[in-house]
Structure 1
Amino acid sequence: MVYKLLTLVDWALIAGSLFNAIALLWLGLTVLLSAERRSWGTWLAGGGLLFGGTFFVGHTAVVGRVIGAFTGEMDFYWRTGWLVLIIAPYLWYLVMGWYSGVLRDRAARLKLIGVSLLGAVALLMALFVDPLPSYADLARPPLGPADLLSQTTLARLIYPGFAALCIVLALLSLRAPATSSDRFMGDLARQRARPWLLAASAVLLAIALAIGIASVWFLDQARAEIFPGLTARGIGMLIGFDFLICLLIAAAVVLIGQAVVAYEVFTGAALPRGELARQWRRALILGGVYAVAVGWSLSGAGIPGQPIYQLLIATVLMTAFLALVGWRSASEPSGGLARLRPFVASQNLYDRLLGPGGGGDDEPEAVFHALCGELLGARAAYLLPLGSLAEMAGPALAHPDGPIPDASAIIATIQATPTGHAPLCLPINPASHSGAGWAVPLRNDRGLIGVLLLGAKADGGVYTQEEIEVARAAGERLIDARAAAEMARRLVALQRRRIAESQVIDQRTRRVLHDEVLPQIHATLLQIADCRLPIDTQGGPHLQSAIANLQAVHRQISDLLHALPPAIGPDLARVGALGALRRAVDSDLGGAFDHVRWEVQAEAEAAARRLDPLSAEALYYAAREAVRNAARHGRGDTPGRQLTLTARAYAGSDPGGRPLLTVTIEDDGVGMGAVPTRADGGHGLALHSTLLAIMGGTLSIASAPRRATVITISMPLPTQQ
């Protein structure tokens, strides 16, 4: 019965030791391979974990032997275990001091020097001054006084005392970290990971104290020949205590691993990676199952004398685990696609544009709510379109529905950050942004197109790097889709209006030509024929009437030509958009204003000539439409009102450094709000805004009733080689 119980404890000890070896080696390699910035602290943390894993590899080799079988190499592992008791706590204190940032303080560095000197003394004592007894010495007669408080026993208290001191200092470093971290989002990671690291430190402190007290008692008992020795009872006590320590270390390893994978405490990554957490869970499952199965085969309860069966068990386990991992990896894409379906599915653009009423305007809001509520689990989120697509992407969206916070400060910060150095997201103050704590920049080839503000997760967790990347991609696609749909809607509406206008003009042309022009021409021909009579008798009056008819026909044909859509200006390609605009104003619209002022920089004139033909045409017609609107509606109901037009043009750049040509058309008329609704529904500037957005430009209007109207047109310039 005693032997069966002993074999079960031995099985548990082997399994625990093997589990610790697997987990520590996995964590050490993961920290070193996945680190974004390999500083000395990263190397120390990864190396320390690998050091612990290597120790447990040797520990497994010791405890995996047949119970009671001790050889000469046991003395090496016995002494190595004491060295680990000195080195491992010191490494933990050093890593925690680096991670918490306290080593930047001069007093903390002096404290580290003192602890290092004390550790060196303990190490020298263990190696040279007071060497530990070997396993053979433990079986001999007493080596010294049997008193528990003997001088030799008290001298060896320096080892567990030093270990406990290092762990306590590590706890103090975690409780009072430095004010700020130099790592992006490091403060949040430090705050979230602190409970895990504090718990791990507490477990390590308990281990150090337990080993210190038990080792002193064990050595004293062995010297006094009170310890039962290598009997079943003595071996049972050793294995039981070893298993208890191994179990505590396994708990500390799991806590450290949770901090590493959930908050990237040692790798330096900006955000935790969900895939890393999944791999850690798989490593724990593999380590647990593998350790239990192989531990059973190595223990007295299994088949310790049959290494071929142990190898076969390990092979079967590894094959089964690889099959399970492959199965999970194959099923994860389908689950991810199901979650992303609202963002990759058809937007039903055809039905929204050509269907009755053009419905479906609430679909972007539904997609946004699905992104924030179902996929990200955010308590609050806001999507703010910016740049050239802002006017067509529609108003900002909120989840849940509510007012949009003022994000001008964070937007200015994002715009001032170079694109190549822009972080994945920026922390913001939730109190001043309606609960949003993160700002995710949204970009396309033309620069910044929007900002996604995210609040805390509903479950209190932290966003993973994959979630932020999905949110960014979905936000960019949502803005692009809304802008594209609005562009298409405007172009379809324009096409419908143009078709209707063309039909009206065609019908009016046919009616005028058939009912008015042709009869007048026919009557004129008859009158000219009558002019063959002598002028002094009947020809004079007929000739005058014929001339009047021809003049009326000329006016009607001229009016028809003016009503036709304008052709592209021939001067556009030769003199550029600004030169063509100046000629159009001077020749066609100059008489509509009392004064016309031009403030055009020479750089802007040269930049306008560098525009490609499509961009130049879009800029020219948008500016001409703005001038025409000022001429038609600037005076309002007061025809005698003084009206001045000011046209400005200058070359500059946007906040992201992209070169821009900016044209402003300003009039001091009655303002747009004081003018009745136009017959065409006011779609002229909306059309040109759409065309400019297609070219990457923008059109904005600033106006108020009874005040000046300013229309600003911006067009990106081609980069000079």
Structure 2
Amino acid sequence: MALETLLAPVTLLRTLTLAVSIFNLVTFLWLASTVWLNGDHRARITLWGVVGLALSALFFFVHALLITLPLDQPALRPLLNILWQAAWFPALWVPYIWFAIGLHYASLINAGWRRRIPWLLALGAVLGTALLLLLLLNRRTFTFVETLQLLAYSTPPPSAGRAWISPLFLLPLLFLVYVAFCAIGPWFTSSRIQQVVVAGWRALGMSLRARNRGGSRPALRRVLLEAFWDDPTEVELLEEPQLSWHLARPALLLAALLMVALTIGLGLAGLWSMLRWLGRGAPLLALPPLDSIPSGLLLLDLIANLVVALIILVIGYSIVRHGILIERPLARRGFFEQWRGIVIVATAVALFIALLVSLTHSSLGGLLCITCLATVAYALFTWSSYRAHDRYIALLGRFLSSTSLRHWLNTSAEKSERELEDLFFSLCQSVLAVRCARLVILAGPMRRTFSYRWPADARFNGTELPRRGEGMVSGETDALVRLVPRRPPGGRGAGTPLAYRLRLRLASGEPLVCWVMPLYDERGLVATLFLGPREDGGTFTKEDMNLAQACGQRILDTIGDHEAMQAVAALLRRRIVDVKLLGAQQRRILHDEILPQMHLALLHLETLRTVTRQEGQEAARMALEEAVELVSTAHRQLAALMRATTPGAPYRLEREGLVQAIRTMLEQDFRDAFDEICWQVDDETAAHIDEVTPPAIAELIFAAVQEALRNAARHARGSDVHRRLRLTLQARCDPDLEVVVADDGVGIAAADAATSGTGGGLLTHSALLAIAGGSLTIKSAPDEGVTVRIYLPAEALL
């Protein structure tokens, strides 16, 4: 075809219309495939969405064939009629499916729609069935060519009756009512329209009054939007899929309004042709031959296709951005980028195929089939790439998760090593997919190896590598260090890891080529990672090396964290033991040494006092009696102090348990500190807490509660010493442990103005609880008291 022929108005319109039709076909088919591949197949709404999008793609497949087939060949007339009648099925079903989907989502937020759904669906079904019956009963009359003649020249078939209630006149009218009802049915009800009208009228009245008085006028747009979106549920309380529907509603409403505008335009064009025919006295006897679609109808078709393309863009945005129809979490940012990509690709493919058909007269059916297969393949590629990405992230989940320090008080070294072995096993098997690997730690207190299917007889330079569980001796360490190049400049992690290949030899004589990767930190070379061949025989890429280095470093960091936490735990346990021993030693010295010595001194003084009485030495007798009185007074005071001194926290906890020890402390140490004590812990909860709380954790909680009580007793009254003070203590364990100490005093801010030392000691206890995996939070307001919340999750109690 010459360029002049291609630029002819009719040919150019047909080419552009074909391009837009193919664009709609590709985008609808990609959306249908994406919803099916990524959606929740158990949700009926997903299945409805797939069917509706697939039927839309089928409609534009048929449409593209109809506008390219010649009309002046009698042999093609049956094919044209079959395609024309095949387009009726998606044209009738797609609006109804759109209608059902809109009703489903509208009922998720507003319960009033649930009562309307049955009769609204029934009314839409009645309209659609009537339209379908009207088409089926007159399908011989309304053929494709005759329909074009009616729209172009207002000349109906000879068998059509001239009447206002004839099928020829009722079809466009009924189609207009049906599609408009299905498009706006989920959005507009009589009550909603009434609300919008009333709100708009009131806003206009207020605006006029404000203009006359010179005041501020209300924003009409905001008033109308608030009246239209009259959902009873607060947005902050919405969850999926209600939240997705709420976010997508403006775009979908725009699509519905565009659909209504398109339907009204097409319906009015059909009615105008009917009115011209009804107003004409006699039909045209000589009709111009129809060898192709007239340019006026092509222009109208092009405009309709462009409006549908805009509707597709809006619907596709709602699907890939907000997850409409998918009913499950979606990588929305990634799929939104894929949606933009498919729009660009569909535009390019549509223009290419339309130009190819116009210039070479190629078979459009085969090209459309190939395009459909390519679209489905592209959707499969998008789906598989994101599934692979999700699987890869799941494999790396153990390395990406935060290092937990909650078990540092009760986690043994053996358990930590088993967890690190599992981590190394996951790295080698799931992430890197190697046949064998070994991580040799050269620095730090845990100098050992982690192996994954590593041959026991592997040697390098005549030296056997350490076996699993064995430490590194100095000679082996020096040999490994000599193998590794010097640390790269720039400190830890600078540049690309210095990985290199090394040939090992097995006892059987077989060579084993592995990659050696040094791992550095501030101390220098701390570990060496040996990676054997990959399972698939492939090579390691730079990304694989970087990933292996990062995961190996993560294992070393985990070891370092564990060692640091174990050191802190050991220091804390030693401090607790020292406190126990010191308290026991002081009581023993008082009870076993000081008090017996004072008692013996009293006995000797009593003996001397008897002697001085007999000899009559008055002055000596008086001095001796005074000394006896002083020693007796000191003895009584020390004995009373011994009886009054309550045991320390470890003794209370061992004898009574955590909850009862706290209650005993309240009754004895803080007996006169509070006017009212509200104890809100039942016996069953107290027994459960004592059962599940380890001793070290119990001592931390006891000390934190003691500090909170001490702060409340000293500072809660502020400057008013006669202020009535009420203390509340709560505890629960289901399964997380929570202890709350609350008073109704002046609060921290008010206490700071009148006293000093208002709870600063709780910071130390908060740090200790944080190390143990828990938390200590303080909530206070002036004249509302202080609430101290001690929280430990169930994992920290194991």
TM-score by length of 1: 0.52
| 1:576 counterpart residue number | 657
In 2, distance between residues paired with 1:148 and 1:252? 35
Residues 148, 156 of structure 1: CA spacing in aligned structure 2 closer, same or farther, 3 A cutoff?
closer
* 1:635-683 CA-partner distances (Å, limit 9, x unpaired): 9999xx9999998765436xxx6554536487999995587435xx964
Aligned-partner residue type, residue 354 of structure 2: G
Alpha-carbon deviation of 1:130? 5.6
Instruction: Tell me the distance in 2 between the aligned counterparts of 1:154 and 1:28.
Output: 38
Correspondence 1:662 to 2:739: yes
Tell me, in whole angstroms, the C-alpha distance in 2 between the residues paired with 1:652 and 1:11.
74
Residues 218 and 288 (structure 1), Cα distance of their counterparts in 2 relative to 1, 3 Å cut: farther
Code of the residue aligned with 1:251 in structure 2: it is L
Of 176, 187, 198, the match for 1:174: 187
Mapping of residues 245-644 of structure 1, within 5 Å: 245-267=304-326, 273-297=332-356, 299-302=357-360, 304=362, 569-580=650-661, 601-610=682-691, 611-626=693-708
Q: For 1:300, what is the secondary structure of its paired residue?
A: helix
- Flag the 1:658–1:243 CA change in 2: closer, same or farther, 3 A: same
How far apart, in 2, do the equivalents of 1:96 and 1:594 lie?
62
CA deviation string 1:131-170 (max 9, x = no partner): 2354688999x99876998249942222221110023323
The within-5 A match list for 1:209-220 is: 209-210=268-269, 213=272
Counterpart CA distance in 2 for 1:29 and 1:314 is 14
1:150 equivalent to 2:162? Answer yes
Q: Distance in 2 between matches of 1:115 and 1:674?
A: 72
For 2:14 and 2:658, the matched residues in 1 are separated by 88
Contact 1:590–1:596 at 8 Å: present in 2 too?
no
C-alpha distance in 2 between matches for 1:270 and 1:698? 32
User: Partner of 2:756 in structure 1?
Assistant: 677
Work out which of the residue numbers 32, 36, 49 in structure 1 matches 2:53: 49
SS at match of 1:652: strand
Task: Check if 1:184 corresponds to 2:242.
Answer: yes
- What displacement does 1:629 show? 5.6
Deviations 1:506-533 (A, max 9, x none): xxxxxxxxxxxxxxxxxxxxxxxxxxxx
Residues in 1 aligned to 2:722 and 2:148: alpha-carbon distance in whole angstroms: 116
Whether 1:686 aligns to 2:766 is: no
| Residue in structure 2 matching 1:20, options 15, 24, 27 | 24
Equivalent residue letter for 1:26: W
Q: How far apart, CA to CA, are the structure 2 residues paired with 1:13 and 1:706?
A: 75
Question: 1:674 and 1:97, CA in 2 relative to 1: closer, same or farther beyond 3 A?
Answer: closer
Contact 1:666/1:711, CA 8 A, preserved across alignment: no
Return closer, same or farther for 1:125/1:109 CA change in 2, 3 Å cut-off: same
Q: Give the counterpart letter for 1:280 in structure 2.
A: W
* Range with bigger deviation, 93-102 or 686-695: 93-102
Identity of aligned residues (%): 23
Report whether the alignment pairs 1:79 with 2:139.
Answer: no
CA distance, structure 2, for counterparts of residue 104 and residue 175 of structure 1 = 11
Residue 82 and residue 694 in structure 1: after superposition, are their counterparts in 2 closer, same or farther (change >3 A)? Answer: same
- Contact preservation (8 Å) 2:46, 2:325: yes
- One-letter amino acid of the structure 1 residue matched with residue 184 of structure 2: L
Structure 1 131/90 Cα, relative in aligned 2: closer, same or farther at 3 Å?
farther
How many angstroms does 1:312 deviate by? Answer: 14
d(CA) in 2 for partners of 1:231, 1:597: 99
1:171 to 1:613, Cα distance in 2 relative to 1, 3 A: same
**Cα distance in 1 between the residues matched to 2:295 and 2:262:** 24
Q: CA deviation at 1:617?
A: 0.6
Separation in 2 of the partners of 1:65 and 1:674? 91
Aligned Cα RMSD in Å? 6.7
Do the aligned partners of 2:708 and 2:741 also contact (CA within 8 Å) in 1? Answer: no
Tell me if 1:230 matches 2:311: no
The separation in 2 between residues aligned to 1:710 and 1:300, in whole angstroms, is: 80
Deviation sequence 1:404-449 (CA, Å, 0-9, x none): xxxxxxxxxxxxxxxxxxxxxxxxxxxxxxxxxxxxxxxxxxxxxx
Q: Is the 8 A contact 1:66 1:300 kept in 2?
A: no
Aligned-pair CA distance for 1:300? 2.9
User: Deviations 1:450-476 (Å, cap 9, x if unpaired)?
Assistant: xxxxxxxxxxxxxxxxxxxxxxxxxxx
> Does the CA contact (< 8 Å) of 1:28 and 1:46 recur in 2?
yes
Structure 2 residue matching 1:161: 3-state secondary structure: helix
Task: Determine whether 1:160 maps to 2:172.
Answer: yes
Gaps of 5+ in 2: 193-228, 391-400, 402-564, 576-611
> Does the 8 A contact of 1:184 with 1:270 survive in 2?
no
Deviation at residue 291 of structure 1 after TM alignment: 0.7
Q: Deviations over 1:204-225 (max 9, x none)?
A: 3323443565699899999845
Q: Residues 85 and 163 of structure 1 are in contact (CA less than 8 Å); yes or no, is this contact kept in structure 2?
A: no
- CA change 1:150–1:621 in 2 (3 A) is same
Contact 2:708 2:762 in 1 (8 A): yes
**Counterparts of 1:216 and 1:696 in 2: how far apart (Å)?**
81
Aligned partner letter, 1:575: E
**In structure 1, C-alpha distance between the alignment counterparts of 2:86 and 2:349, rounded to whole Å:** 26
Structure 1 match to 2:129: 120
Unaligned runs of 5+ in 1: 334-343, 345-487, 499-534
Look up the SS of the partner of 1:304 in the other structure: coil
The residue identity in structure 1 corresponding to 2:732 is G
Cα distance, 1:184 vs structure 2: 2.3
Per-residue CA distance 1:562-605 (angstroms, 9 max, x = gap): 9xxx9873443343234555677889x58997999895743354
Pair 1:194-2:235 in alignment: no
Contact 1:608 1:616 in 2 (8 A): no
Aligned to 1:652: 732
What's the CA shift for 1:52? 1.6
Q: TM-score normalised to the size of structure 2? A: 0.48
Aligned counterparts of 1:81 and 1:596: Cα–Cα separation in 2: 82
Partners of 1:300 and 1:634 lie apart in 2 by 89
Q: C-alpha separation between the residues in 1 aligned to 2:766 and 2:316?
A: 54
TM-aligned CA distance change 1:68 to 1:27, over 3 Å? farther
> 1:56 Cα deviation (Å)?
1.6
The letter for the 1-side match of 2:353 is V
